[in-house]
């Protein structure tokens, strides 16, 4: 089959289209396809919120090194929630979320992460919650300076109970999750942070302890 003879003008147009395609595609990608800026699932808090050092009284706290609450829970990565000591079903759901997320970071980094519940009314934690979520640092936090520093949306009607927070070993709150966050996504964020950051390694190494429950 004999191919048609292209005129010089047609050849020029075809060559122009061929060379212009990558440029056109790049413009289309830039203006109409917006990739996610980050790969995290939680909401980054920027700037981070520095939590002051406080001496807490904690119940159980087997995840944490001995005396960690009295030293302001420094030196570990924290998964924090806040609620009343009575701990209703929604409270227990958050405790379950952070318990499972901690387990999913994997055995290598398990002892780097501590679960914390700030008991905002100062009441005793319910026996059911204490038993079901053993290892959590149940902290008496009534009047604590931490509570008003936990960032929440202006439209939040839960008094801050609708969130789970991630805090680094230096006490910087850097990530926030809705209380119903997917456990695997929260764990994926923590694995990524623990893998990428050596922050607190020296502090952690000096305070290794607790169980792996």
3-state secondary structure at position 44: strand
- Looking at residue 23, its pLDDT comes to 47
Residue 203 has pLDDT above 60, yes or no: no
175 Cβ contact list (under 8 Å, min separation 6): 40, 42, 43, 44, 45, 165, 166, 189
pLDDT tens per residue across span 120-171: 998 999 999 999 999 999 999 999 999 999 988 877 788 889 999 999 999 9
Residue 29 has pLDDT above 60, yes or no: no
- Looking at residue 99, its pLDDT comes to 97
* Exposed/middle/buried for residue 1 (C-beta within 10 Å: 0-12, 13-18, 19+): exposed
3-state secondary structure at position 155: coil
| Chain-centroid distance, C-alpha 191 | 10
Annotated domain spans of the chain: 43-205
- Looking at residue 16, its pLDDT comes to 53
- Looking at residue 206, its pLDDT comes to 43
- Looking at residue 211, its pLDDT comes to 40
pTM, two decimals, is: 0.75
Instruction: Return the CA Rg of the chain.
Output: 25
- Looking at residue 11, its pLDDT comes to 63
The DSSP symbol for 137 reads E
Distances (CA, A) of 191 to 26, 177, 200: 33, 15, 15
Q: Is 72 left (phi over 0), alpha (psi -120 to 50) or beta?
A: left
Q: Which CATH number is correct for 43-205, 3.20.20.80, 3.40.30.10, 3.40.1410.10, 1.10.1530.10? A: 3.40.30.10
Name the E strands within 120-168: 137-140, 163-167
Q: How high is the mean pLDDT of the chain?
A: 82
Residue 210 has pLDDT above 50, yes or no: no
| Model confidence band, residue 1 (pLDDT cutoffs 50, 70, 90) | low
């Amino acid at each position: 089959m004999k191919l048609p003879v292209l005129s010089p003008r047609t050849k020029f147009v075809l060559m122009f289209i061929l060379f212009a395609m990558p440029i056109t595609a790049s413009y289309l990608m830039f203006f109409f396809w917006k990739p996610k800026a980050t790969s995290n699932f939680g909401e980054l808090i920027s700037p981070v919120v520095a939590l002051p050092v406080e001496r807490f009284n904690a119940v159980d706290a087997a995840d944490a090194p001995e005396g960690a609450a009295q030293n302001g829970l420094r030196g570990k990565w924290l998964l924090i929630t806040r609620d009343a000591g009575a701990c209703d079903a929604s409270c227990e759901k958050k405790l379950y979320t952070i318990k499972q997320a901690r387990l999913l970071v994997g055995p290598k980094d398990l002892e780097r992460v501590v679960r914390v519940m700030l008991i905002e009314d100062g009441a005793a934690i319910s026996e059911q919650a204490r038993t079901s979520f053993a290892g959590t640092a149940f902290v008496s936090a009534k009047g604590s300076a931490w509570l008003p520093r936990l960032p929440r949306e202006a439209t939040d009607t839960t008094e801050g109970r609708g969130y789970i927070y991630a805090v680094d070993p230096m006490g910087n709150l850097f990530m926030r999750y809705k209380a119903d966050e997917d456990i695997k996504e929260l764990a994926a964020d923590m694995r990524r942070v623990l893998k990428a950051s050596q922050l607190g390694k020296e502090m952690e190494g000096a305070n290794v302890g607790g169980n792996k429950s």
